[in-house]
Amino acid sequence: MKVCKFGGSSLANAAQVNKVIDIVLSDPSRRIVVVSAPGKRHSGDTKVTDLLIELANTAMKGENTDRQFGAVVERYAEIAQQLRLGDEIVRRIEMDLMDRIAKVNELAADEFMDLLKAAGEDNSAKLVAVAFQARGKKCRYAGPKETGMILTGAHGDAQLDPASYDTLSRAFSNFEGIVVYPGFFGYTSEGKVATFPRGGSDITGSILAAAVCADVYENWTDVDSVLPCDPRVVPEVAAGEGIPTMTYREMRELAYAGFGVFNDDAVIPAVKARIPINIRNTNHPSEPGTMIQQSRRVVPGTVVGIAAMDNCCNLVVEKYLMNREIGFGRKLLTSLEEEGVSYEHMPSGVDTQCIIVKEQYLPKGREARVIATIRREVKPDYVTVERGLTMIMVVGEGMCFTPGMLAKACLALSSEGINISMVNQGSSEVSFMIAIRSSERDKALRALYKTFFR
């Protein structure tokens, strides 16, 4: 069985919904269809989820919501009309939205916001199920409530309660025909709607693939395959070859460092269950896409992708004889823990410890406080924060046991006159990180692409 998740661009209008139906019907093993809310129809358009956020904010301010309400309903009505699905489904969507808006004074702000955001995918799934039925296919809508997808954690940033896997698996074993399921949300144990982070329909698809032990999790989007580098920065990437296969580890490293094609958290459920993930293009279904799996044949000395993570800063702590002070590292990290600062990498020198942190965890306003805590706990000779850094990640299983990969990267950067602030490579050898000034990022990506891919 295959679980197929279709993103917002695959559901933006009636023509796209028809493509989705054709793709699903072309392979009888495509049984579970996870959908996003309708996305942008053209570059100036607004995603339904963003319209819903505006609707929720307007309702919470106690202002008239007619315009925002009309804009959301119009998106579904347009699809229903062009697919000749009748008025009934549009009326159901209208009623559903009205019921949600009526809860504005009953719920806390974050609960109300999630209730409205979830309407995007929920109604998308109901509409797509009706569209399958209109083509004479056995198909039903099933949602998180009836199948038992329980979430924990903060609203807008929820996570699956792992106990849900058994419930979901049992629920799906009773279904026949095609099931259309809304992405992006579930319910708390108190019965409140909660959403994953933005882009979270990928997570829903991955969870369902793991719950039903799917043969493959197909993630349908609008690119033929994952590209090895950002084509907005390195235009020749678009004309070159996409990545045919990559391992879970490679995808994780690249997603972590900012590859936008696949939600970072979404890899985890499928990876744990060892389900291959296939990124496909709804607009070119004959393309095989990118297959992400446990292992692949690697050519020694090759790189699979290069990513850049911007907005990083370096917390530099210096103390003479730090290497002999037992407990120094623990005290330093405890200081960060106390201040709620999460860190990314920790390259070190003899008497210097660098800690790379995303700027969001160390905004300028908090810098003095964090430094004061570190001064108190580890009594350093010197502490400072260096801002405006980008971490470049060079990733590939093919780098393992191959001498000279880092040397090549350094040479590429030095020949462009780019100074390296820091380097970090784990013993897995599947990636290395090079920190540079953000102002040199594009030049660095172009130089590295040329070295490893041309």
Q: Which residues bind ligand ASP (CB under 6 A)?
A: 7-8, 36-37, 47, 49, 120, 183-184, 198-201
Closest distance to ligand ASP from the beta carbon of 52 (Å): 9
What is the spatial order of strands in the sheet that 30-35 belongs to? Answer: 139-141, 178-182, 30-35, 2-6, 216-221, 277-281, 290-293, 245-247
Q: Residue 256: count other Cβ atoms within 10 Å of its Cβ.
A: 17
Cβ atoms of 7 and 222 within 8 Å: the answer is yes
> On the CB side of 222, how many CA atoms lie within 13 Å of its CA?
12
Nearer CB in complex with ligand ASP: 201/290 = 201
- Using alpha carbons, select from 240, 271, 231 the residue that is nearest to residue 253: 271
Cβ atoms of 154 and 110 within 8 Å: the answer is yes
Closest distance to ligand ASP from the beta carbon of 212 (Å): 20
Q: Note the Cα 117 to chain centre separation in Å.
A: 17
Q: Note the Cα 159 to chain centre separation in Å.
A: 13
Longest dimension (CA), the chain: 76
Nearer CB in complex with ligand ASP: 49/353 = 49
Closest distance to ligand ASP from the beta carbon of 319 (Å): 44
Nearer CB in complex with ligand ASP: 198/443 = 198
- For 238, the enclosing helix (H) or strand (E) is helix 236-239
Closest distance to ligand ASP from the beta carbon of 200 (Å): 5
At position 189, the amino acid (one-letter code) is: S
Nearer CB in complex with ligand ASP: 223/445 = 223
Closest distance to ligand ASP from the beta carbon of 36 (Å): 3
Nearer CB in complex with ligand ASP: 56/355 = 56
User: Which residue minimizes CB distance to ligand ASP?
Assistant: 201
Closest distance to ligand ASP from the beta carbon of 8 (Å): 5
At position 272, the amino acid (one-letter code) is: K
Closest distance to ligand ASP from the beta carbon of 279 (Å): 14
| Separation between Cα atoms, residue 356 and residue 206, nearest integer Å | 30
Token output for 22:
């054709």
Nearer CB in complex with ligand ASP: 149/298 = 149
Sign, CA dihedral 52-56-61-64, equals: positive
Nearer CB in complex with ligand ASP: 13/36 = 36
Nearer CB in complex with ligand ASP: 7/305 = 7
At position 157, the amino acid (one-letter code) is: D
Closest distance to ligand ASP from the beta carbon of 405 (Å): 35
- Using alpha carbons, select from 41, 40, 24 the residue that is nearest to residue 32: 24
